[in-house]
């Protein structure tokens, strides 16, 4: 966390200020609605493959995706294949996976390709983590195209801390290996990328004139830190953040998306030919 990180403004449900921000950003020429998935659109779960979007969030997100001059995107630490499987995103939703290392921008998008040195390094990283998991009950590994994730959510606190510390002691100084802390996970990757870079990339390719981004994890701060004047950043949960606004839980994210859909729909309807 950066030294100037601070508690976000407002109460934990949708504050009047956040509702006003949603009303304001709905007026922009081209709106990009970019959301984290786990802990934001979906509640956090112990087993990653059991995550699903809250029905209200999914419905509002799909409604936004169908509007003119509105682009929806998911920016996740998950691999793209995992993200598609659990999120079932609207067909036109853009996807950033593996913390920015993977991108899907529509049919024909190029898949992530590692060179031989990166593939060898990734195998070495996995071997290190396999040894740790064998000695740490309740921990497990998740493979991604550019990395391996050490999950500790099912482990006791002391086992989780020891496992992460052991992994860091071996990998943190290894050239070409990049580590990220998350909620009960340690992300390893042989590609240096971030959600912030993913968000900036999406802004550029869509020509968005304003962005709304919401996320709950430490890695989402990379994206929140890339927001510009006129954007809206929302932190989900109680951790310190760079975001201006905060909500308590994914249920409030659903409320935010519904409010944004209502406001954006009114703006679009007013601009459609033949409407009053």
Confidence of residue 11 (pLDDT cuts 50, 70, 90): very low
Say what the pLDDT of residue 274 is: 56
Host domain of residue 142: 116-189
258, pLDDT greater than 50: yes
Judge if 28 and 48 occupy the same domain.
Answer: yes
Judge if 219 and 264 occupy the same domain.
Answer: yes
61-104 confidence digits (pLDDT tens): 999 999 999 999 999 999 999 999 999 999 999 999 999 999 99
Residue at which a domain ends, from 189, 204, 225: 189
Judge if 163 and 262 occupy the same domain.
Answer: no
Q: If you average pLDDT over residues 113-124, what whole number do you get?
A: 95
9 in a domain, yes or no? no
Judge if 72 and 197 occupy the same domain.
Answer: yes
Judge if 211 and 81 occupy the same domain.
Answer: yes
Say what the pLDDT of residue 107 is: 85
- In DSSP notation, 27-70 reads TSSSEEEEE--BTTTB---SSGGG----HHHHHHHHHHHTSTTE
CATH number of the domain encompassing residue 36:
3.40.50.1000
Confidence of residue 273 (pLDDT cuts 50, 70, 90): low
13-39 confidence digits (pLDDT tens): 789 999 999 999 999 999 999 999 999
pTM: 0.84
243 in a domain, yes or no? yes
10 in a domain, yes or no? no
Question: Could you give the 3-state DSSP secondary structure of residue 233?
Answer: strand
User: How far is it, in rounded angstroms, from Cα 125 to Cα 132?
Assistant: 11
Residue at which a domain ends, from 189, 211, 233: 189
46 in a domain, yes or no? yes
Residue at which a domain ends, from 157, 173, 189: 189
275, pLDDT greater than 90: no
Say what the pLDDT of residue 182 is: 86
Say what the pLDDT of residue 67 is: 97
Judge if 210 and 99 occupy the same domain.
Answer: yes
Number of structural domains (the chain) is 2
3, pLDDT greater than 60: no
Judge if 212 and 184 occupy the same domain.
Answer: no
CATH number of the domain encompassing residue 181:
3.30.70
Starting at the edge strand that comes first in sequence, how are the strands of the sheet with 147-151 ordered? 140-144, 147-151, 185-189, 178-182
Say what the pLDDT of residue 110 is: 80
With vertex at residue 194, the alpha carbon angle to CA 190 and CA 196, rounded to the nearest 5 degrees, is: 165
2 in a domain, yes or no? no
Judge if 53 and 184 occupy the same domain.
Answer: no
1, pLDDT greater than 50: no
276 in a domain, yes or no? no
6, pLDDT greater than 70: no
């Amino acid at each position: 966390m950066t030294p100037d990180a601070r508690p976000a403004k407002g109460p934990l449900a949708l504050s009047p200020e956040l509702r006003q921000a949603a009303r304001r950003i709905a007026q922009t020429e081209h709106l990009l609605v970019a959301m984290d998935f786990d802990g934001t659109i979906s509640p956090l779960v112990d087993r990653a493959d059991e995550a699903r979007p809250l029905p209200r969030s999914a419905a509002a997100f799909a409604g936004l995706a169908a509007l003119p001059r509105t682009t929806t995107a998911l920016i996740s630490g998950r691999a793209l294949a995992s993200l598609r499987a659990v999120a079932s995103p609207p067909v036109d939703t853009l996807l950033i996976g593996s913390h920015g290392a993977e991108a899907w921008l529509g049919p024909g998008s190029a898949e992530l390709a590692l060179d031989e040195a990166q593939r060898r390094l990734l195998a070495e990283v996995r071997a290190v983590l396999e040894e740790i998991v064998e000695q740490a009950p309740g921990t497990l590994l998740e493979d991604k195209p550019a990395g391996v994730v050490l999950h500790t959510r099912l482990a006791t606190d002391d086992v989780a801390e020891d496992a992460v510390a052991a992994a860091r002691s071996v990998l943190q100084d290894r050239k070409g290996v990049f580590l990220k802390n998350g909620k009960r996970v340690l992300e390893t990757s042989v590609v240096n990328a971030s959600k912030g870079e993913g968000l900036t990339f999406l802004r550029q390719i869509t020509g968005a004139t304003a962005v709304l981004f919401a996320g709950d994890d430490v890695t989402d701060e990379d994206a929140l830190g890339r927001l510009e004047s006129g954007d809206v950043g929302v932190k989900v949960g109680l951790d310190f953040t760079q975001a201006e606004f905060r909500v308590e839980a994914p249920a409030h994210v659903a409320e935010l998306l519904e409010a944004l859909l209502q406001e954006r729909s009114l703006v679009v309807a007013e601009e459609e030919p033949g409407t009053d």
